[in-house]
């Protein structure tokens, strides 16, 4: 991974939020500001729903298939007129230029027949802390007023909550629900799609029962000092994220089928200024895999 990408990921870890910590282990996911969408009523298996997504390197496409199958939805993959470059560095340069100029990239198929649908599952990779730029093109070309919009994303380290919040701001007349997110590392790992399927099932259950973000955080113990075992879990889960310069300060945990950890950390990405962030980690039951970094988020 290039230095600049890592830097952008680190920035996103500072500013963006993310993820599906709880859902990955049968916990709750929810939205923070608006009332939970009555998704059970508007997107049952038989409802008219569509999965709209963009994917550069395939992670979000995998997740889109999970949503499509879970809800028997139609599929609408956004296609760029001019594909993104094949290297990270040039992709970063191009996406940064788009963001700075707010010139969103042309799509072959920007216009969707939205009238056919009451629910839009909207999928994207996180880029620069929020949804990738073709999503702006799609939003500008379509009126999602009155639709239920269910965001889902893949990311390096985070961006779920930040992207969903931006979506809510841009689409005030849509019912934007809480979002599902998973890191590219987890979905691309062996068994990753199966794991995503389980999490997405939990995600839908959470939508149906109207859980909130606050409810998700219930069940964690108070923050406490790290034990040697906590430190070992943290080191194992974050070994590929050295560029974030994470230093765990305290931890809380939650017993599930395995253990959830919420580490409060100091982060100094590339020796930059120290900020405080939360790192969510899941440790499976013994013999069921290594501790996983779920998300870095504020």
Ligand X SMILES: Cc1cc2nc3c(=O)[nH]c(=O)nc-3n(C[C@H](O)[C@H](O)[C@H](O)COP(=O)(O)O)c2cc1C
Among 177, 184, 253, 260, binds ligand X (CB under 6 A): 184
* CB of 134 or CB of 258, closer to ligand X: 134
Query: Rule CB under 6 A: is residue 254 a binding residue for ligand X?
Result: no
Site stretch for ligand X (CB under 6 A), options 84-92, 170-178, 200-208, 221-229 = 84-92
Query: Rule CB under 6 A: is residue 10 a binding residue for ligand X?
Result: no
Among 20, 59, 78, 179, binds ligand X (CB under 6 A): 59
Query: Rule CB under 6 A: is residue 133 a binding residue for ligand X?
Result: no
Query: Rule CB under 6 A: is residue 216 a binding residue for ligand X?
Result: no
Among 25, 31, 60, 133, binds ligand X (CB under 6 A): 60
Q: CB-based contacts of 126: which residues, under 8 Å, 6+ apart?
A: 12, 16, 18, 132, 153, 154, 155, 156, 158, 159, 160, 163, 181
* CB of 108 or CB of 257, closer to ligand X: 108
Tell me the C-alpha distance between 262 and 155, whole Å.
19
Q: CB-based contacts of 155: which residues, under 8 Å, 6+ apart?
A: 12, 16, 18, 19, 125, 126, 181, 182, 183, 184, 295
Distances (CA, A) of 4 to 10, 153, 251, 277: 10, 21, 30, 21
Placement of tokens 């500008």 in the chain:
140
Query: Rule CB under 6 A: is residue 155 a binding residue for ligand X?
Result: yes
List residues binding ligand X (CB under 6 A). Answer: 8-9, 12, 16, 55-61, 88, 91-92, 95, 125-129, 154-159, 184
């Amino acid at each position: 991974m290039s230095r600049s990408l890592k830097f952008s990921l680190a920035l996103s870890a500072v500013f963006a939020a993310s993820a599906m910590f709880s859902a990955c282990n049968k916990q709750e996911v929810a939205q923070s500001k608006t009332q939970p969408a009555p998704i059970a009523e508007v997107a049952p298996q038989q409802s008219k729903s569509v999965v709209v997504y963009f994917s550069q390197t395939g992670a979000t496409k995998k997740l889109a298939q999970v949503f499509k199958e879970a809800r028997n939805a139609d599929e609408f993959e956004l296609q760029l007129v001019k594909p993104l470059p094949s290297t990270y560095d040039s992709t970063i340069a191009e996406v940064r230029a788009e963001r700075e100029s707010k010139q969103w990239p042309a799509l072959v198929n920007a216009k969707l027949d939205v009238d056919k649908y009451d629910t839009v599952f909207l999928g994207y990779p996180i880029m620069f802390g929020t949804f990738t730029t073709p999503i702006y093109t799609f939003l500008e070309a379509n009126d999602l007023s009155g639709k239920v919009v269910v965001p889902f994303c893949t990311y390096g380290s985070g961006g779920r909550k930040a992207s969903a919040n931006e979506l809510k701001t841009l689409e005030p007349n849509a019912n934007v629900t809480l979002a599902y997110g998973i890191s590219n590392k987890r979905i691309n790992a062996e068994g990753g799609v199966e794991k995503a399927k389980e999490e997405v099932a939990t995600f839908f259950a959470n939508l149906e029962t109207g859980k909130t973000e606050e409810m998700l955080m219930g069940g964690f113990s108070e923050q406490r000092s790290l034990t040697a075992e906590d430190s070992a879990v943290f080191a194992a889960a974050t070994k590929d994220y050295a560029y974030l310069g994470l230093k765990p300060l305290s931890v809380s945990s939650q017993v599930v089928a395995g253990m959830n950890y919420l580490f409060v950390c100091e982060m100094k990405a590339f020796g930059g200024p120290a900020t405080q962030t939360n790192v969510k980690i899941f440790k499976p039951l013994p013999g069921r895999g290594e501790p996983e970094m779920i998300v870095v988020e504020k």
